[in-house]
Amino acid sequence: AQSVTQLDSQVPVFEEAPVELRCNYSSSVSVYLFWYVQYPNQGLQLLLKYLSGSTLVKGINGFEAEFNKSQTSFHLRKPSVHISDTAEYFCAVSGNTGFQKLVFGTGTRLLVSP
Amino acid sequence: DSGVTQTPKHLITATGQRVTLRCSPRSGDLSVYWYQQSLDQGLQFLIQYYNGEERAKGNILERFSAQQFPDLHSELNLSSLELGDSALYFCASTLSGASTDTQYFGPGTRLTVL
């Protein structure tokens, strides 16, 4: 079984500042990792995913994440945030065989202020 | 717009009642997932269907059931409703349900049980 820990429930940041949202996972098997974003009153949307290959993954809206197997982490970063990045961000993990069954973290609310 | 539709958008009902939530997946997608999102439980996987067959079960109560029809739309039935069932219910679809897939989420149905 897999589990995901997002230690920060809320991250306040000023516009144009860099941000890092932390995600750690636990699994007894090899995994695929995902970051989804949920804007207010909307469903979730994929930001990026790590399946294999380069450990640095680039996604939409200028976000990127780095897979670190030794630290079992998949932190999300953006060098300069915008007001429009204010949303809830979910890290998710799935085993890499069979049908996909995503296990989501509890989410991190990113609050960008002017 | 993810291409996944859910109806109704809002649902208000009383304890003890039964409701049906409907989901139409993206065109061509064969797999449908149901999730419950609440403040205290976070985002919980309920059940997955692939081409009409149940593939995986998560934290789904016995009072809840689902099915996927030949035209691939899915319905989630919630019965003997309790106050604690109030939540956002999301449907997501993927092409095949493979572990590498991206899940496309609908806008959700907000259920309020009074």
Judge residue A9's burial from the number of C-beta atoms within 10 Å of its C-beta, 0-12 exposed, 13-18 middle, 19 or more buried.
exposed
Predicted confidence (pLDDT) per residue in A13-35, tens digit? 999 999 999 999 998 888 899 99
Q: Give the pLDDT score at B41.
A: 86
Buried b (16+ CB within 10 A) or exposed e, B68-96: beeebebbbebeebeeebbbbbbbbbbee
How far apart, in whole angstroms, are the C-alpha atoms of residue B76 and residue B114?
19
Name which of A97, A99, A104 is nearest B97 (Cβ-Cβ).
Answer: A99
How far apart, in whole angstroms, are the C-alpha atoms of residue B99 and residue A93?
10
Q: Give the pLDDT score at A63.
A: 97
Predicted confidence (pLDDT) per residue in B29-66, tens digit? 999 999 999 988 889 999 999 999 999 999 899 999 99
How far apart, in whole angstroms, are the C-alpha atoms of residue A72 and residue A29?
12
Tell me B101's DSSP state. Answer: P
Q: Give the pLDDT score at A1.
A: 82
Share of chain A above pLDDT 70, in %: 100
Q: Give the pLDDT score at A114.
A: 95
In DSSP terms, A32 is beta-bridged to A94
Share of chain A above pLDDT 90, in %: 81
Query: What mean pLDDT do residues B89-110 have?
Result: 93
Smallest Cα distance from A37 to chain B, Å: 11
Query: What mean pLDDT do residues A44-64 have?
Result: 94
CB contact under 8 A, B103 and A101: no
- Residue B85 φ then ψ, to 5°: -80, -10
Predicted confidence (pLDDT) per residue in A71-81, tens digit? 999 999 999 99
Joined together, the tokens standing for residue A72 give 């079992």
Q: Give the pLDDT score at B93.
A: 96
Mean residue pLDDT of chain A comes to 94
Q: Give the pLDDT score at B98.
A: 86
Joined together, the tokens standing for residue B51 give 């081409």
Predicted confidence (pLDDT) per residue in B84-99, tens digit? 999 999 999 999 888 8
How far apart, in whole angstroms, are the C-alpha atoms of residue A90 and residue B43?
9
- Residue B67 φ then ψ, to 5°: -155, 160
Q: Give the pLDDT score at A13.
A: 98
Asked if B90 has any chain A CB less than 8 Å from its own CB, the reply is yes
CB contact under 8 A, A43 and B2: yes
Joined together, the tokens standing for residue A84 give 């429009």
Q: B50: which chain A residues are within 8 Å (Cβ-Cβ)?
A: 99
How far apart, in whole angstroms, are the C-alpha atoms of residue B43 and residue B108?
12
Q: Which of residues 21-50 of A touch B (CB under 8 A)?
A: 32, 36, 41-46, 49
How many beta-carbon pairs below 8 A join chains A and B? Answer: 64
- Give the residue carrying structure tokens 């997002």: A6
**% helix, strand, coil for chain B, step of 5:** 5, 55, 45
User: With 90 as the cut, is the pLDDT of residue A92 above it?
Assistant: yes
Asked if B55 has any chain A CB less than 8 Å from its own CB, the reply is yes
CB contact under 8 A, B45 and A101: yes
Q: Is B52 left (phi over 0), alpha (psi -120 to 50) or beta?
A: left
pLDDT: which is higher, B59 or A51: A51
Smallest Cα distance from B18 to chain A, Å: 24
Asked if B58 has any chain A CB less than 8 Å from its own CB, the reply is yes
CA B73 to chain centre: 11
Angle at A75 between CA A65 and CA A53, to 5 degrees: 40
User: With 80 as the cut, is the pLDDT of residue A107 above it?
Assistant: yes
User: With 80 as the cut, is the pLDDT of residue A98 above it?
Assistant: no
Mean residue pLDDT of chain B comes to 95
